[in-house]
Copies of this chain bind each other. A is one copy, B any other.
Amino acid sequence: MDSNTLILQYQTIRAHTHSICQSLATEDYVPQPISDVSPPKWHLAHTSWFFEEFILKPHYPQYKMFHEKYGFLFNSYYQTIGEYTNRAERGFLTRPTVAEVYQYRHYVDEHMLTLLNKLELTTELAKLIELGLHHEQQHQELLITDIKYILGHNPLFPSLELALTKNDPTADQEYIAIASGNYSIGFKEDGFCFDNELAQHTVHLAAYEISSTLVSNAEYITFIEEGGYNRVELWHDEAWYFIKQHNITAPLYWHKINNIWHVYSFSGLQPIKLTDAVCHVSYYEATAFAQWREQRLATEFEWEVAADKLTWGARWEWTASAYLPYPGYTKASGAIGEYNGKFMVSQMVLRGSSIATSPHHQRKSYRNFFYPKARWQFTGIRLVKC
């Protein structure tokens, strides 16, 4: 990638982060209501810290850090770099203020652009910057999901000007048949991908039929009304304990008001649109629903093989695959090596992308991953015939 393209990308992507936050009140940037949900302020700082730590510190001549303690405050999890703030206590840090965090972003941007304009970029450095931009795009989606969580759990159910550009596609459901055989899996195009998509390899698949559409709210309401959340035989053992312990009886953000299902979105609390794809369900709920329908989720390989024939982009789709390394996967050395590999246990793969995913940040080989109980992402369900 040439310098000019990289500069343009850098500017566009960094600006998009700001546009996501433009309607936030200062207060909205602060809290961390659950461990998974980071303060928006933290996302803004952490993505800048990534450029400061991995690009500016090693490559910008005599780089002077914006603030010596920000590394400690905004390192997310790169344990090889040293001590960092207790992950669950990010929401108590009122300082630096939002304004100071924006100054930090500005400072990093200025230096990055100076660097990008002056430097003969090595391929390695260009790749690292590209990684930083994809990292920022990942946090853009997290910004949206975390803001939604913060506002959607406020009893005032505030609305916010935050336009999600993509809409739920509408299509008739059909089942697409894929033949048995050996298929090649993994990133094949040119351009950027994460290390967890690499190492093309062959898998053998039995024949299967995959739905062209996602499960709708209407279908999910039927599941609820037919007692889905009280039929123990539909649930995994740990799932059953989880939903009973947390009194879960519907997707996140759903509220039954005067016998009508409502859902919180950035427009506030609204009656549910029945034709939309169901959203904010856990893997537990996705598999219980599939079990109830006597179907199943696709494996990530089945999903990837069929991807060209599917419409996708509305919801991250839970797959039946655990998040594990591909054959031949190796971690990068150093802190960058912590990017993906260390999460490859106890989580499930999601494929596709969602209405909150940043533009140009989707690939059919993309492997997203969350714990099976996670509900605050824009997650949905696609079925495969057993």
Q: Which residues of B contact A233 (CB under 8 A)?
A: 79-80, 337-338
Residue of B72, B79, B150 near A94 (CB, 8 A) is: B150
Q: Nearest Cβ in chain B — how far from A318, in angstroms?
A: 11
Asked if A322 is at the interface of the complex by the 8 Å CB criterion, the answer is yes
**A324-B322, A386-B328 known; A345-B156 Cβ under 8 A:** no
Which residue of B has the minimal Cβ distance to A98? B27
Q: Which residues of B contact A154 (CB under 8 A)?
A: 92-95
Asked if A246 is at the interface of the complex by the 8 Å CB criterion, the answer is no
Q: Which residues of B contact A345 (CB under 8 A)?
A: 236, 238-239, 283-284, 287, 372
Asked if A321 is at the interface of the complex by the 8 Å CB criterion, the answer is yes
Residue of B150, B158, B372 near A346 (CB, 8 A) is: B372
User: Quick check: which of A44-52, A106-114, A196-204, A221-229 contacts chain B, the rest being far away?
Assistant: A196-204
Q: Nearest Cβ in chain B — how far from A226, in angstroms?
A: 17
Q: Which residues of B contact A85 (CB under 8 A)?
A: 155
**A89-B33, A237-B77 known; A386-B94 Cβ under 8 A:** no
- Whether A69 contacts B206 by the Cβ 8 Å rule is no
Asked if A3 is at the interface of the complex by the 8 Å CB criterion, the answer is no
Interface residues of A (CB under 8 A from B): 25-31, 33, 41, 69, 72-73, 77, 79-80, 85, 89, 91-98, 150-151, 153-156, 158, 182, 201-204, 206, 232-233, 235-240, 283-284, 287, 296, 320-322, 324-325, 327-328, 330, 337-338, 342-346, 372, 386
9 further contact pairs, Cβ within 8 A, besides A201-B206, A236-B342, A238-B345: A25-B95, A26-B26, A30-B30, A31-B91, A79-B240, A93-B155, A94-B151, A236-B343, A346-B346
